[in-house]
A and B are shown apart, each in its own frame.
Chain A
Amino acid sequence: MTQAAAPPGASRRPKGKQRGKPVALAPSPYSLGAAFRRGDVYTKASAVVMGLGNIVRGQIVKGLVFLAAEIGFLWLFMVSGIHSLKGLGQLGPVTKGTQEWDAEGNYVMVSPTNSVEVLLYGIAWVLAIMLFIVLWTFAVRSAYKAQVLAGARGKAPSFQDDLKSLADQRLYGTLMTLPTLGLLLFTVLPLIFMISMAFTSFDNDHTPAFNWVGLKNFAVVLSSSGSGDIGVNAKLFLSVLIWTLVWAFFATFLNFFLGMFMAMIILRAGTRFKSFWRVCFSMSIAVPQFVSLLVVNQMLQQEGIVNKLLQNWGWIDESLPFFTNATWARVTVIVVNLWIGIPYTIMQVTGILQNIPAETNEAAKIDGANWWERYIYVTMPYIFFVMTPYLITTFTANVNNFNVIYLLSKGAPTPVGDSAGKTDLLITWLYKLTVDRGNYNVGAVIGIFTFIVLAVVSLITYRSSGSYRNEEGFR
């Protein structure tokens, strides 16, 4: 359970199509194709000298901004872009540091190429060029638009008009720019960077200089012999994958059903002090997750307080193997996760249970349905309908549930020679491989497989769920 509790408003169903605006958008009349087909000489020249068309039609400031952007980009491209892109071809030309005499007879140190930097700058430049192409399209279309509007109205929109439209018709341009840039720089770029590492030889032995190796790392992870140095093979991968899915299944559905069960007990007519019980169960939310996990980890150690107390009371002779026996460890992480996750489930399910249309239940009651039948045929379908998207996101979050495993069991117990322990998920395995051991290439392969698993599971469940196929089902 890595998510914070969704607020009550989140589970509200969309109110149907009649509310929404028409979705289809007419294609813009000022497209790139139209600009080249019907643009005059200035518009076409804007493809080379960005902003020229705008300046000619009197949009001086806008034109100069385009021109400055083009000159700035080209200058940077000359200074560092070409060099960075060339580096992408061969990431680490110098693999070993040596000493040699240079042309002037000085003794110089030649350090190995820092391939991480080469790769990073290269990818950043590819991204920058793509951004520039977007800007270029924008400039050409803007020049064509200025031409058309100047022809129709005698005058292209002034700089003030443009600024005004950025607060009105094109407000999205103003509001979306910064968040999109943030995402590009700190989500998309790192992701591409890591994905590309899957095709290199960047492991513990190949640092700082490494090179492209194609699909070799995928072959290592999927071959039965694997790599002894890294401790990766197909059998290990398969067992971690299966445990990840088993874990995500139990963590999601046990949380959901037990949480729902407890929410229903609190809600039932005979229960007193309802808000007191709710406060009891939400107290644990205030304790930060990593604190409770670290504390539980301490409590359940071989010499931890739980084992000590049980021994003092004479209930056990030897310490219980919470994190030393595979089965014990697996059950332990699932149970501890219940402790963390159920309060969130109670909070969310309570809201939904209270929202069930009363008349359906009444009708079922009049028709003679007993408690169990009403629960199975009325309550459950409703909850599933509302909760399916939530269950999918929870499942995804559990596949990627780094904290619970890493802080609680650290993947233990780990057999000698393996890089993954018996409770390691794909995600913690990835972390161990990369951050702890520096085998970035194999780690990246695991990351890509994790994505594939998640995408497949989400697609299948989402497409076959009622809330996707039939949005109006509960109306």
Chain B
Amino acid sequence: MSVAVTDKLEAPGAKEPSAGGMKTRRVLGDVVSHVFLAVMAVAWLVPVAWVLMESFNANTKPYTTTFFPTEYTIDNYVKLFTDTEVMNFGQMFMRTLFIAIVVCLISVFFVLSVSFCMSRLRFRFRKPFMNGALILGMFPGIMSVVAIYFILKAMGLTSSSSGTVAALIIVYAGGSGALFYVMKGFMDTIPFSLDEAAILDGCTRWQVFTRIILPITQPMIVYQAIVGFMVPWLDFVLAKAICRTQENYTVSLGLWQMLQKEYIGTWFARFAAGAVCVSVPIAILFVLMQRFYQSSMSGAVKG
């Protein structure tokens, strides 16, 4: 932290144009800020690199004397997906992927529908719905986790494996209608004159939605799809409350299980391998998102 403090004092000073020694000060500022960024980058990258290296560690125990592993092997990945006796990680992975994709599709549709109605249509139910969503957001989500479990139990969805998958999909997708604020904010920036012109030309509101608003909203749809995928992909709390037995676990629960006392001794390296596997889809999605921002955001906001 001491680096940050000294830098904070010096870096701004370096930019200040003063008569004498301006160049030396600027060079000094450049050096200090680069050193600072390098130190910080190390702080951020080391844990990430450590997980990556650990996933190839030949020694599967968590407590070692060296920071980085001394021997490397690909065994952990192979075992993670083939050694299914104690924990079937491959199955968990596919199950979570399926849940995440279905939830992603439903929640994108829900969010688009609700934000279109909130932004473009005017009806009596609109204000109460917006205020209600705001108030609902202030209640701690954890509070309803137990209740959701009881509701699903009453619906008979908690005993079987396929039932749990359905339960998770319903729960994640069911709550997504309240997450419309960002999308609505974006739709508000699209000029209303576009809608009015289309309606004068004989479009129905549905056609305005599908042919005018949706194409303009495309970059935001990508963002929403990523969020809709990540929530079920990474969720821990709700999954833990709903999937009570190991046959029904999602990836996050599986990884959590590997770090429990009875497993950690043999499973730590495989945990790291699993963590890398879970990170890959997210990394891919982030690259996709970056590209979409740069390409289509500029066109959408001209209006």
**Interface residue ranges, A against B (CB under 8 Å):** 4, 6-10, 12, 14-15, 19-21, 23, 25, 28, 116-117, 120-121, 164, 167-169, 171-172, 174-176, 178-180, 182-183, 185-191, 193-194, 258, 261-262, 265-266, 268-272, 277, 280-292, 294-296, 298-299, 303-305, 308-309, 312, 339, 343, 370-372, 375, 396, 400, 402-403, 406-407, 426-427, 430-431, 434-435, 440, 443-444, 447, 450-451, 454-455, 458
**A25, A194, A280, A295: the one within 8 Å of B47 (CB):** A295
User: What's the Cα separation between A42 and B270 when bound, in Å?
Assistant: 72
B275 at the interface (CB under 8 A from A): yes
Chain A residues with Cβ below 8 Å from B297 are 8-9
User: What's the Cα separation between A284 and B279 when bound, in Å?
Assistant: 10
In the complex, the chain A residue whose C-beta lies closest to that of B275 is: A291
Cβ–Cβ contact B140 & A427, under 8 A = yes
**B45, B173, B174: the one within 8 Å of A280 (CB):** B45
In the complex, the chain A residue whose C-beta lies closest to that of B1 is: A335
Cβ–Cβ contact A185 & B4, under 8 A = no
Select the residue from A9, A121, A174, A281 with max chain B CB neighbours within 10 A: A9
**B63, B125, B226, B255: the one within 8 Å of A290 (CB):** B255
B81 at the interface (CB under 8 A from A): no
**B4, B30, B40, B255: the one within 8 Å of A294 (CB):** B255
Give 20 CB contacts A-B under 8 Å. A6-B182, A14-B188, A120-B147, A167-B204, A175-B114, A179-B176, A183-B177, A187-B178, A189-B147, A262-B40, A270-B33, A286-B48, A286-B286, A287-B47, A287-B275, A291-B278, A305-B67, A402-B142, A430-B143, A450-B139
User: What's the Cα separation between A19 and B122 when bound, in Å?
Assistant: 14
**Interface residue ranges, B against A (CB under 8 Å):** 4, 7-8, 11-16, 26, 29-30, 33-34, 36-37, 40-41, 43-45, 47-48, 50-51, 62-65, 67, 110, 113-114, 116-117, 121-126, 129, 133, 135-148, 150-151, 154, 170-171, 173-178, 182, 185-186, 188-189, 191-192, 204-206, 209, 219-220, 223, 226-227, 230, 233-234, 236-237, 241, 252, 255-256, 259, 264, 268, 271, 275, 278-279, 282-283, 286, 289, 293, 297, 300-301
Decide yes or no: A176 and B125 within 8 Å by CB, A280-B45, A434-B146 being known contacts. yes
Decide yes or no: A183 and B47 within 8 Å by CB, A167-B205, A188-B136, A265-B37 being known contacts. no
User: What's the Cα separation between A144 and B123 when bound, in Å?
Assistant: 19
User: What's the Cα separation between A164 and B148 when bound, in Å?
Assistant: 37
**B16, B36, B189, B237: the one within 8 Å of A9 (CB):** B189
User: What's the Cα separation between A175 and B176 when bound, in Å?
Assistant: 14
Interface class of chain A by DSSP: helix
Cβ–Cβ contact B174 & A372, under 8 A = no
User: What's the Cα separation between A407 and B143 when bound, in Å?
Assistant: 18
In the complex, the chain A residue whose C-beta lies closest to that of B272 is: A295
In the complex, the chain A residue whose C-beta lies closest to that of B54 is: A295
Cβ–Cβ contact A171 & B117, under 8 A = yes
Chain B residues with Cβ below 8 Å from A271 are 30, 33-34, 37
User: What's the Cα separation between A268 and B223 when bound, in Å?
Assistant: 28
Cβ–Cβ contact B43 & A339, under 8 A = yes
User: What's the Cα separation between A152 and B286 when bound, in Å?
Assistant: 58
Decide yes or no: A190 and B148 within 8 Å by CB, A7-B293, A343-B44 being known contacts. yes
**B45, B121, B124, B236: the one within 8 Å of A407 (CB):** B236
Cβ of B140 to closest chain A Cβ, rounded Å: 5
Decide yes or no: A288 and B48 within 8 Å by CB, A14-B189, A171-B205, A187-B144 being known contacts. no
**B116, B148, B177: the one within 8 Å of A180 (CB):** B177
User: What's the Cα separation between A262 and B34 when bound, in Å?
Assistant: 11
Cβ–Cβ contact B63 & A308, under 8 A = yes
Cβ–Cβ contact B44 & A280, under 8 A = yes
Chain B residues with Cβ below 8 Å from A258 are 4
Chain B residues with Cβ below 8 Å from A309 are 65, 67
User: What's the Cα separation between A271 and B26 when bound, in Å?
Assistant: 11
Decide yes or no: A277 and B125 within 8 Å by CB, A12-B301, A435-B241 being known contacts. no
Cβ of B186 to closest chain A Cβ, rounded Å: 5
Cβ–Cβ contact B44 & A339, under 8 A = yes
**B121, B124, B143, B300: the one within 8 Å of A171 (CB):** B121
In the complex, the chain A residue whose C-beta lies closest to that of B185 is: A10
Decide yes or no: A288 and B182 within 8 Å by CB, A182-B175, A396-B138 being known contacts. no
Decide yes or no: A431 and B142 within 8 Å by CB, A6-B182, A117-B154, A290-B234 being known contacts. yes
Decide yes or no: A400 and B45 within 8 Å by CB, A9-B219, A288-B282 being known contacts. no
User: What's the Cα separation between A116 and B264 when bound, in Å?
Assistant: 37
Cβ–Cβ contact B113 & A444, under 8 A = no
Cβ–Cβ contact B176 & A294, under 8 A = no
Cβ–Cβ contact A4 & B143, under 8 A = no
Cβ–Cβ contact A191 & B139, under 8 A = yes
User: What's the Cα separation between A189 and B171 when bound, in Å?
Assistant: 12
In the complex, the chain A residue whose C-beta lies closest to that of B284 is: A286
In the complex, the chain A residue whose C-beta lies closest to that of B7 is: A265
**A12, A28, A120: the one within 8 Å of B189 (CB):** A12
Chain B residues with Cβ below 8 Å from A375 are 12
**B14, B44, B65, B233: the one within 8 Å of A283 (CB):** B44
**B14, B136, B140: the one within 8 Å of A400 (CB):** B140
Cβ–Cβ contact A451 & B136, under 8 A = no
Cβ–Cβ contact A447 & B236, under 8 A = no
**A21, A117, A191: the one within 8 Å of B192 (CB):** A21
Query: A120-B151, A284-B45, A299-B47 known; 6 other A-B pairs, CB under 8 Å?
Result: A194-B147, A291-B275, A303-B63, A371-B15, A430-B140, A435-B146
Chain B residues with Cβ below 8 Å from A262 are 37, 40
Cβ of A399 to closest chain B Cβ, rounded Å: 8
Q: What 4 pairs between A and B have smallest CB-CB spacing?
A: A179-B177, A182-B174, A190-B147, A190-B144
Decide yes or no: A284 and B47 within 8 Å by CB, A20-B192, A262-B40 being known contacts. yes
User: What's the Cα separation between A192 and B216 when bound, in Å?
Assistant: 39
Select the residue from B12, B135, B271, B289 with max chain A CB neighbours within 10 A: B12
User: What's the Cα separation between A312 and B63 when bound, in Å?
Assistant: 13
Decide yes or no: A265 and B36 within 8 Å by CB, A298-B62, A303-B63 being known contacts. yes
Cβ of B177 to closest chain A Cβ, rounded Å: 3
Chain A residues with Cβ below 8 Å from B283 are 286
In the complex, the chain A residue whose C-beta lies closest to that of B27 is: A270
In the complex, the chain B residue whose C-beta lies closest to that of A181 is: B174
User: What's the Cα separation between A282 and B287 when bound, in Å?
Assistant: 11
Cβ–Cβ contact A25 & B124, under 8 A = yes
Cβ–Cβ contact B122 & A21, under 8 A = yes
Cβ–Cβ contact B174 & A183, under 8 A = yes
**A116, A172, A281, A299: the one within 8 Å of B121 (CB):** A172
Cβ–Cβ contact A175 & B113, under 8 A = yes
Cβ of A144 to closest chain B Cβ, rounded Å: 16
Cβ of B159 to closest chain A Cβ, rounded Å: 16
